[in-house]
Structure 1
């Protein structure tokens, strides 16, 4: 049996979570969305999920308890979790954040879009693209939306 696609959003901003959730539901209501509020909760959630891991993790950087960079290091050092692609999804556009997270193993670094229409475009591309082809799709998408994307 094929598992439905699922995303894990790790973000401490409840407004961003709600907007992401509502937009994803409009884009593809078959994708399950799970969310937690910081890196520590993400590690706990993923460690507790015995068989089914999310298709993608959207990981913010600036969060309490455990930030996104530390969480990414934990994910990529765990034999079971390192296979899950991580998209850094943040307001940061600091070159040090980009370099550090990409070197640690993030698939992409995406600054959060400014508007719902751009988020819709971003999530549509992500939802419709197989994970293996996601970097190329995201790079071509950058020409159409104002968020900053590094793959």
Structure 2
């Protein structure tokens, strides 16, 4: 995975335990990446809206969060062309058919159900990172 030097990866999830597991998985993959965790969608949006801050290559977004849902957050990202380079992925424990249809109406997106095993998370991340251009 040496072609992904200095990749910036973000996770937006209101469960800090998820962030810990996610960071461990990234470390076990062994890529040179910068990982940022945001507990609130608002914090992530504030970060990327500041032109002085660098944008992540990939952001994983939990669907169910307080105040701003993952779906709303991705809609805000997609409405600004400055953020076209960010690959936004829904990373959630559950997504309903209605949510899937609403997301498809916004344009192409990816979603992954949160794996329950660390090995499965590592495999999922490897696949996403290796396919990222």
TM-score of the superposition, structure 1-length normalised?
0.78
Mapped pair 1:41 → 2:43? yes
Q: Which residue of 1 aligns with 2:91?
A: 89
Number of residue equivalences? 130
Q: Offset at 1:17?
A: 0.7
Distance change >3 Å, CA 92–CA 15, structure 1 → 2: same
Q: Which residue of 2 aligns with 1:4?
A: 6
Distance change >3 Å, CA 37–CA 51, structure 1 → 2: closer
Distance change >3 Å, CA 28–CA 97, structure 1 → 2: farther
- Which consecutive aligned stretches of 4+ in structure 1 deviate over 3 angstroms post-superposition? none
Distance change >3 Å, CA 106–CA 63, structure 1 → 2: farther
Gaps of 5+ in 2: none
- SS of equivalent residue, structure 2 residue 82: coil
Query: Where do residues 1-150 of structure 1 align in structure 2 (5 Å cutoff)?
Result: 4-50=6-52, 52-131=54-133
* 8 Å Cα contact 1:58-1:87 kept in structure 2: yes
> Is the deviation greater in 42-51 or in 75-84?
42-51
